[in-house]
Every structure is written in C-alpha cells, then in structure tokens.
Amino acid sequence: MSTSQKSEPQNSPLRHAVETSVLRPAERWSVRAQAWLLLSKHALYGLSAARILVGIALLGVLLSNFGDRHVLWGPASFWAEPHRASSEFGALLGIFSTQSTVLFTVLYLALMGAAVAVILGWRTRLMILLLVLGMTGLVERADTLGDQGDNIARIGLTLMLLMNVTAHWSLDARRRRQVPPRGELPLGKKLWYGLPVLPGWITHPVHNVALMALACQIFILYTASALYKVQGELWQEGTALHYPLSLHEYGVFPWLNSLLTGDPFMVTVLTYGSIFVQLFFAVGLLHPVTRRLALVGIIFFHGGIAVLMGLPWFSLAMLAFDAIFVSSRTWRQLGLLLRRVRAHRRRRRRASAAAAAEPR
Amino acid sequence: MDESAAEQRRALKRIPWGARLFAGLLVLVMAVHTVIIGIWVAPRTPVQDEIGSDTVRSYVLPWFEQNWSIFAPNPRRVAVTFEVRAMIEDPETGEETVTEWVDMVDGEDQIVWNNPAPPRTSKIARRTTDNLNSARSPMNDDQLNQLQADYVETPIAQLREDLLSSDGGAAAAQVDAYMSMDEVAVSLATGMAHHAWEGEIIHVQYRTTHRPAPSYAQREDMTVDDTDRGTREYGWRAPAELTDQQIELFEPYARQAGDLG
C-alpha cells in the first residue's frame, strides 16, 4: 500500500465495514429496484393469461345467465328495484335500465362482444373499459345475487387498464408485429397499430406499480380469507366443508359432495387444506419450491369450489389473477407444450389421411 | 459487478431523473391504496378508528368493494325457504279463496341440481329470505309482532311508522332496510301469484323458514330436509303493481321457482 492511501481516513476498518456491508448493498438494491420499476414491464405472460381467464369468467357469467337475463337484470327485474335505490353505483345502473327487451338484449350481446374482444386481445384497453363498466352496470342491478367474483373481476380489470395485458396471445400483439418497418410513424398510425405513444419511463412504472397493487390485493384477499376462517370453530374442528356441501344450495352433484365429506379423513384434510392454501399463499410465493406448491394448491382449491359448489365463474375470476404469479418461463413452456401437442395431432391426422388415400 | 448489473446501470443513466420521482410517487399512491384496502378488509382496529371508518368507506365504496369473510368464521349451514300465497278472487263468482303456500327456494334448488354452471335465478328467493332475516335481526319483540300485522287497506308506509313508534329495537335505517326487503318480497310474491293461480289477486303474503344442516356426527342419520324448521311469519300485503310485460317476462322464472311445470 502506498503512503498516500494510508494517510486517508476512509481506510479505517469501521469505514470499510460500513461501506462493504451497508452502503454498497444498499446502492445495489436501489439500482435493482429502479431497474425493476423503470426499465421493463413485468409479468407480461401472466397478465396476458389473466386477461384471457377473466374474460372467459365474465363471458361465462353472461352466457349461463343469458336465458334468464330479463328477470335477473332486465325489464322483468322489478323485484330488485328496492335494492337499486340504495346502490352506490348510481348512474352506471342506468346503462341497462331500458324497458325494451330488444334494446336490453342488444346491449347484453354487445357486452358479450366486449368480453370476447378482451379474451382475443382486440383493441384491448378500450374493450376492458367497456367490459368493466358494462359488467358493473349489469350485475349491480341485482347486487344481492352477486358474489366476490364480481368484485375481484371489477378491481382486477380496473388495474389492468394501467397495464400491458396484450403482449402475448392477442390480436393487438399480432397487429403490432405487422407494423411496416419504415422509420418514425405519425401519432395516428402509432395509435392505430397500438404502438407505445408515451416513453417507457412513464409506461413501465405505471404498469409495474399497478401490477404490485394487484399482487397486494390478492395477498390481502387470501390472507384475510384464511384468518377469518381460523376463528371459526367448525373450521377448527375440521368439519366446516361438510355444512355448505350438504345444502341443496351448493348441491350440484350431491352424491359427489357426500362422497367427499362423508369420509372423516377426507373432510378434515379438505377443510384444513382450504385454510392452508389461502393462509400460506402470499408467503409461499417467496421461495421457488413453495411458490409452485402454493399455485398448485390454489388451483385445486378453486377447482374444488367450481365443481362442488357450482360456482365456476366465481372460481375462475379469482383464479385468473393468480396467473400473474406463474413465471414467464413456465408460461412459455406451457405454450410450447401446447404447440407440440397440436403439431403432433396434425401430423397424426395427416398420416391417417394419407394412409386412407393410399390405394390398397 | 456482473454484466447485467452494469447493463442496468447504463440503461438507468439514460432515464431522466423526473422518472424516479414519478415512479416514487406511483409507489406511494399504490402503498396508500393497499393500506386502505387492508384496513377495509380487516376487522375494526384502532387504525381504522384513527383514520375514520367513513373515510375508509368513502374511498373503498363502491368501486373497490370487497369482503373476504366468506364462509367465515363459520360456513353457511342453514337452509331456508321463501313461501308465498295469495288471496284470489274468482272473476265470475266473486268468491275469495286463499291459496296453498308455494316455496320458491325449492324450485331454485332444482335449478342448481346437476347444473355445473347454475344461473343466478337460483338465488333470487333464497337471498330474499337471507336479507329478510338480517333485516329483522335488530328488531325487538314488539316490532317483530308488528311484521305479522296485515297492511292491505292501510298503506304499507304505515308499517314503517308503526315500527318506528316502538321503544328501542331497530332504528330508522334498520327499519328502512326491512321496508325495502318487504317491497322485494311482495313483488316476488305478486309475480309468482300471477302465474301460479287463476283469478284476481286481492292480497299476497310471504313467510320464511330456516333449518340447520345436520351436524357432522349426524350426517348418516339425517339430511338437511329432516331437521326441525323455524318459521317466520309476515302479514298480508297489498300486491305490487306490475305491468303486463313484467308479468310475462317473469313467467319462466316463476315456472322454475314455483315448480309449476
């Protein structure tokens, strides 16, 4: 070491320790946080999947209630009028308040169209806006029949307005790929092709912060659900699932319900399992191994609710947003797997067609 | 420093400083939003008292409305009925008869059975009973008795006055909650009566029952249809005024709910 360095005070051991174990790591974390927020958009695959799944859930609600639309929300929903008087959604409820069955049906079909557009990722931001406003205006006309699936879909779609949810599996992405490679485009063309108009340092943090808000919303939801359950003695006793599943209200397949809850081991495992998957969801995401367990657990949990309780659209709406926690790598692998299966089927079809065409 | 970290540093250098401020503000907004949602979802805490539950409420409702104490602390374990009947006048003889009770929840149960994606019509009468039960829960005995009185000639608005004249029990907002639920129940009963019975509807009446699901230990000895029912009675009411179109469009549901074939 040279004498000039020796004489400088920053070479004291304390200074050195502070620098290596506090300042430098802090600076590195700050760079990482800034890079995460500002340099790129995250969870693009997961959000594209979430868009498709929540679109299917809402389309499912609209389809399965299509035959009953007039009495639920339309011109024959007079019975829900007193509920509307106290609704805080006010003017939104007016969208579907027509007395004409034809106009009501046309509006209803248009809302289904918006759901399909969201699934396909066509003019997605506008379509999400129309879907969330229309869906809220519709289901809140009979809020007493609604469930938390309506609420989480509304909240999630609202946050999706701030995010890029069409990076994959969407018509918007296809249109963006078709942009002629010719220098800078005028603003109108950019909007037409769905190309970014604002600089990345604005859109990236908006996307990423909305993603954080969505993730936090889901953590709150599952953790609260679990903590409310553990207070109940039927959950503690491990028999809670028996009760709702023995009601006609949730008796889609009563034989299946009694088969599952009739067995003492099964009912306890399922009851405790329901609490555990929710309680450990948020913390489970922290480690790659437990993250996979948490996600598989929550898929089975919602799958069970969907089938056993006859709540498929509620379950799918809840599950849709969990897709953001599946890594892009897994989504790519799933996409690859799907393509391979399809290619394999196509080859087999061609081979059998060729064999059939061959003269014997 | 590895390659990607160096790359990140270079990329960050190209971004204006205002971007950091902007992103920081966004994170702050997100954090405040999340804390408010967390406070709303949680039970009442000193933090909520400090911020003011009205402040939290006005931020969350209606757009961010949510409630995650579903099936908690204990899951649903009660089956209900919503039964209606009517006093019908034969248009030819002028004779007035009281019909049998029709349970609309029984028909709604049939909608769910074997249907993996049941429509929401399976909940119209069911939720009406639930809402009636919650509306009457703050009432005192005096008020509960009053619900059984008939309001056919006397306008139903008088029931509100009579309920409010009681000492204690349900307060004005709670009485209003019942009055709306009565309106819902009467309109359902009227819609049903138009399709279930021939003749002119003079009055309608509704009542509800509730019965517990058998305990886990009893599961092999009985079903939810074998347990004792409690009945809650309400007086006769004047029928709701419905248009021909409303009556006609109500028919498919009435046929299902009333099991009219």
pLDDT value at B154 more than 60:
yes
In whole angstroms, what is the distance from residue B50 CA to residue A265 CA?
A: 46
Mutate to test the interface with A, among B35, B74, B114, B128 (most CBs of A within 10 A): B74
Between residues A179 and B164, the one the model is more confident about: B164
Residue B172: what pLDDT? 95
Average confidence score pLDDT of chain A = 93
- Are the CB atoms for B205 and B235 separated by under 8 Å? yes
- Are the CB atoms for A255 and A261 separated by under 8 Å? no
Chain A residues in contact with B249 by the CB 8 A cut-off are 70-71, 74-76, 101
In whole angstroms, what is the distance from residue A33 CA to residue A38 CA?
A: 8
pLDDT grade for A190, boundaries at 50, 70 and 90: confident
pLDDT in tens, B193-234: 999 999 999 999 999 999 999 999 999 999 999 999 999 999
Residue A2: what pLDDT? 45
Gyration radius of chain B's alpha carbons: 27
Chain B residues in contact with A82 by the CB 8 A cut-off are 180-181, 183-184
Residue A8: what pLDDT? 54
SS3 state of residue B207: strand
Chain A residues in contact with B124 by the CB 8 A cut-off are 71-72, 79, 142, 145
Out of B122, B184, B245, whose CB is closest to A82? Answer: B184
Least trusted range by pLDDT, from A110-119, A293-302, A344-353: A344-353
Residue A4: what pLDDT? 47
φ, ψ at B97 (rounded to 5°): -130, 150
pLDDT grade for A194, boundaries at 50, 70 and 90: confident
Q: In chain B, how many H helices and how many E strands?
A: 10, 5
Mutate to test the interface with B, among A243, A253, A272, A313 (most CBs of B within 10 A): A243
Residue B15 tokens read as: 């971004």
- Are the Cβ atoms of B116 and A206 closer than 8 angstroms? no
Out of A252, A267, A307, whose CB is closest to B112? Answer: A252
- Are the Cβ atoms of B8 and A39 closer than 8 angstroms? yes
% of residues, chain B, pLDDT over 70? 99
Name which of A46, A50, A52, A35 is nearest A327 in CA terms: A46
Q: Which residue has the tokens 């919303």?
A: A217
pLDDT value at B137 more than 50:
yes
Strand partners, B99: none
Residue A65 Cα to chain centre, angstroms: 22
Least trusted range by pLDDT, from A53-57, A149-153, B6-10: B6-10
In 3-state terms, chain B is what percent helix, strand and coil (to 5)?
50, 15, 35
Average confidence score pLDDT of chain B = 95
- Are the CB atoms for B252 and B194 separated by under 8 Å? no
- How many angstroms separate the CA of residue B102 from the nearest CA in chain A? 17
- How many angstroms separate the CA of residue A313 from the nearest CA in chain B? 8
Residue A9: what pLDDT? 55
- How many angstroms separate the CA of residue A22 from the nearest CA in chain B? 16
B78-89/B230-237 β-pairing: unpaired
**Helices assigned H by DSSP within chain B:** 3-13, 17-41, 46-51, 53-60, 104-112, 124-136, 141-147, 157-164, 172-196, 244-257
- Are the Cβ atoms of B16 and A68 closer than 8 angstroms? no
% of residues, chain A, pLDDT over 70? 97
Chain B residues in contact with A234 by the CB 8 A cut-off are 74-75, 77
Side-chain-facing half-sphere of A54: CA atoms under 13 Å: 34
- How many angstroms separate the CA of residue B95 from the nearest CA in chain A? 29
How confident is the model over A293-304, as a mean pLDDT?
Answer: 97
- Taking the alpha carbons of B143, B129, A302, A254 in that order, is the dihedral positive or negative? positive
Residue A3: what pLDDT? 46
% of residues, chain A, pLDDT over 90? 82
> What is the interface size between A and B, counted as CB pairs within 8 Å?
243
- Are the Cβ atoms of A205 and B23 closer than 8 angstroms? yes
Q: Answer whether the bond into residue B62 is a cis peptide, omega within 30°.
A: yes
How confident is the model over B188-197, as a mean pLDDT?
Answer: 98
pLDDT value at A258 more than 80:
yes
Residue B2: what pLDDT? 64
Name which of A224, A129, A194 is nearest B69 in CA terms: A224
Find the residue in B nearest to A162 (Cα).
B26
- How many angstroms separate the CA of residue A125 from the nearest CA in chain B? 18
- Are the Cβ atoms of A202 and B38 closer than 8 angstroms? no
Least trusted range by pLDDT, from A212-216, B1-5, B244-248: B1-5
Chain B residues in contact with A32 by the CB 8 A cut-off are 5, 8
- Are the CB atoms for A318 and A60 separated by under 8 Å? no
pLDDT grade for B1, boundaries at 50, 70 and 90: very low
- Are the CB atoms for B221 and B136 separated by under 8 Å? no
- Are the Cβ atoms of A232 and B242 closer than 8 angstroms? no
How confident is the model over B57-72, as a mean pLDDT?
Answer: 94
Gyration radius of chain A's alpha carbons: 26
pLDDT value at A17 more than 60:
yes
Q: Specify burial of residue B220 (Cβ count, 10 A radius: 0-12, 13-18, 19+).
A: exposed
Residue B71 Cα to chain centre, angstroms: 15
Q: pTM to 2 decimals? A: 0.93
Chain B residues in contact with A85 by the CB 8 A cut-off are 180
Out of A37, A228, A235, whose CB is closest to B23? Answer: A37
How confident is the model over A127-142, as a mean pLDDT?
Answer: 98
Find the residue in B nearest to A305 (Cα).
B116
In whole angstroms, what is the distance from residue B151 CA to residue B159 CA?
A: 7
Find the residue in B nearest to A64 (Cα).
B119
In whole angstroms, what is the distance from residue B67 CA to residue A148 CA?
A: 7
How confident is the model over B61-71, as a mean pLDDT?
Answer: 94
How confident is the model over B47-73, as a mean pLDDT?
Answer: 93
Residue B1 Cα to chain centre, angstroms: 60
Residue A228 tokens read as: 């409310």
pLDDT in tens, B79-122: 999 999 999 999 999 999 999 999 999 999 999 999 999 999 99
Residue A187: what pLDDT? 87
- How many angstroms separate the CA of residue A228 from the nearest CA in chain B? 5
Mutate to test the interface with B, among A30, A58, A79, A203 (most CBs of B within 10 A): A79
Out of B66, B184, B191, whose CB is closest to A83? Answer: B184
Name which of A324, A302, A322, A323 is nearest A313 in CA terms: A302
- How many angstroms separate the CA of residue B140 from the nearest CA in chain A? 24
- How many angstroms separate the CA of residue A312 from the nearest CA in chain B? 6
